[in-house]
Structure 1
Amino acid sequence: MQIQRKTLAQEVADRLIQGILAEEYVIGDKLPIEPELMKIYGVGRSSIREAIKILSIKGVLSVQQGVGTFVTSKNVQESLETQITKAEIEDVYEVRSLLDSKIAARAAVSRSEKELQTIKNFLDLRDKLAAENKAAECYQADINFHISIAEACGNSLLKEIYKITSTHILRTFEISHNNNTDSFRLSQKIHTELYKSIENKDPENAARIAQMIVDKVY
C-alpha cells in the first residue's frame, strides 16, 4: 500500500494555479496553446488537457472551442492536501494526535479479519526492516501500518484525511531520523500492543495506546 503521489496533471494544475495567483496569468488572459504548454511544463498533451479540465471544473478556466482557454477566476480554494503540505510539522502532528486515537478505537470495532491481517503484515514488516536498519523501507512500513488501521476504521473521510497527513509525516521521518531505525525498534512493542487491542476488539485500549504512540510514551 504505497502512499499515492500526485499525477502529472495535478502537478500542472497546481503550477497553473500558482501562476494565476502570482498574476502571471490574469483574469481574461488566454492561455498558451497546447504545444506551448507541453513545452513549458514538460508533460504530454493528455496531462495538459486533464489539468485544464481540473481547473475548468473549479471555475478557474473556461474552454471556448475553436477559440482557446481563458482565465476566468483567481478565487482558488486550496485543497486539504495542499494546505497540509504547507503546514508546519507541529500542526500536522496535532492533527494526527486528534485523529489517531479515534481511528484506532473505530478500527477495533469495525475491522474485518482481512483488514486485521493487513495490519499484522505491516507490523511484521516494520519489525523486520527496523532490525535490518533498512530506514526508508521501515519508515514506509510504519506509515502503511497506521494507514491500514485507518483503512479499517469504517469512516472514509477519516481515512482520507489520515492518508494525506501521513504523506507529510513520512517526509519528516526521512529528514529527522538520519537514516536510522533505532526509535522504530524501540517502539515495536507498543505498536504490537496496539495491534493486539484491535485484534481483541478493545476500542478503549486501542485509543489509549494510539495516543501513547503519538506522544512517544514508550
Structure 2
Amino acid sequence: MQIQRKTLAQEVAERLIQGIINEEYAIGDQLPIEPELMKIYGVGRSSIREAIKILSIKGVLSVQQGVGTFVTSKHVQESLETQINKAEIEEVYEVRSLLDSKVAARAAMFRNEEQLQTIKKYLDLREKLATENQALECYQADINFHISIAEACGNNLLKEIYKITSTHILRTFENSHNNNTDSFRLSQKIHRDLYESIEKRDPDNAARIAQMIVDRVY
C-alpha cells in the first residue's frame, strides 16, 4: 500500500491548528485575509481556501461570507472515519449489526436493475472464490456484495457509514479466518436468499435474513 503524501492544504491546516493551539490566534480572532495567508504559508489561494474548508468542517474555523474567517475552537472534531478507525472491532461490529437489516430492507425497496446485477455479480464471485478457497479474494468479494447492497439502499449517509465500517470488517476476515473459506461456503445459501429477497422487493424478508447473517444463524 502506498503512503499518501499530505497535500499543501493539509499541511497549511495543520500549521493553522498549531498556531491556534499556541495562541497565535485566539478564539474569536479573525484570520488574516487570503493574500496575507498566502504570504505567511507560501502557498497559492486554492490551498488556503481548501485548508480553511478542512478546518471549518472540523469545527475550528467559521467562515462568515463578506466578513471574514474566525477562530471558533481549539478542539478538532474528528471525522466519522477517524473515529471508526480508532474504534474497537466489537464496536464496529455493533454498528454494522444495527445497520445491516435497515440497509437490506431499503435495498429491497429502492434498488434498480443495474444495482441488482452488481449485487448478483459479487454473490456469484463470492461462491466461486469460496469453492476454490481463494481466501483473500473471497473475503473482498463478500465485502463487495454487502457494499453493493448498501449502494442500492437509497440513503447516501447509510451507504457511506456502511462502506467505512466494511474496511474494518475486511481486516478481521484477513486476521481471523486463517486463509480459509469454509464459513463462506457454508453461508453462501443464506446470502443467496438475501439476494433473492432484494430481487423480489421483499423488505421484511431481506431485513430478517440480513439479521440472521449478522447473528451467524445459518
Q: Do the two structures share a fold, i.e. TM-score over 0.5?
A: yes
Q: What corresponds to 2:22 in structure 1? A: 26
Question: CA shift at 1:88, angstroms?
Answer: 1.2
1:68-117: CA deviations, max 9, x gaps?
xxx99531011111111111111111111111001101111111111100
Distance 2:50 2:146 in 1: 31
Q: Using the alignment, how far apart are the partners of 1:100 and 1:184 within structure 2?
A: 18
CA distance in 1, matches of 2:52, 2:93: 34
Aligned to 1:117: 117
- Write the mapping of 1:17-166 to structure 2, written as runs, cut at 5 A: 26-28=22-24, 52=51, 55-58=54-57, 60=60, 74-166=74-166
Structure 1 gaps, min length 5: 36-44, 63-70
Aligned to 1:38: none
1:216 equivalent to 2:213? Answer no
Amino acid at match of 2:173: F
Distance 1:107 1:55, change over 3 A: closer
Give the conservation status (yes or no) of the 8 Å contact 1:143–1:170: yes
Report the TM-score when normalising by structure 2: 0.74
Summarize the Cα distance change of 1:120–1:104 in structure 2 as closer, same or farther, 3 Å threshold: same
Supply the AA of the counterpart residue of 1:28: E
Q: Deviations over 1:122-156 (max 9, x none)?
A: 00111111112111111111111001001111111
- The 1-side partners of 2:42 and 2:179 are apart by 43
Q: Kindly state the Cα deviation for residue 34 of structure 1 after the two structures are TM-superposed.
A: 6.7
SS where residue 133 of structure 2 aligns? coil
- CA-based RMSD: 3.6
CA deviations on 1:8-60 (whole Å, 9 max, x unpaired) are 448x949x86xx69x9x734289x9679xxxxxxxxx9xx8798455444465
Are residues 143 and 34 of structure 1, via their aligned partners in 2, closer, same or farther at CA, if it must alter by over 3 Å?
farther
Check conservation: 1:107, 1:198, Cα contact below 8 A. Answer: yes
Matching residue's letter, 1:79? S
Distance in structure 1 (CA, Å) of the matches to 2:50 and 2:3:
12
Given that residues 27 and 74 in structure 1 are in contact (C-alpha distance below 8 angstroms), is that contact kept between their aligned partners in structure 2?
Answer: no
Which has the larger Rg? 2
Map 1:180-199 to 2 at 5 A. 180-199=180-199
% identical aligned pairs: 69
Give the drift of 1:7.
Answer: 5.8
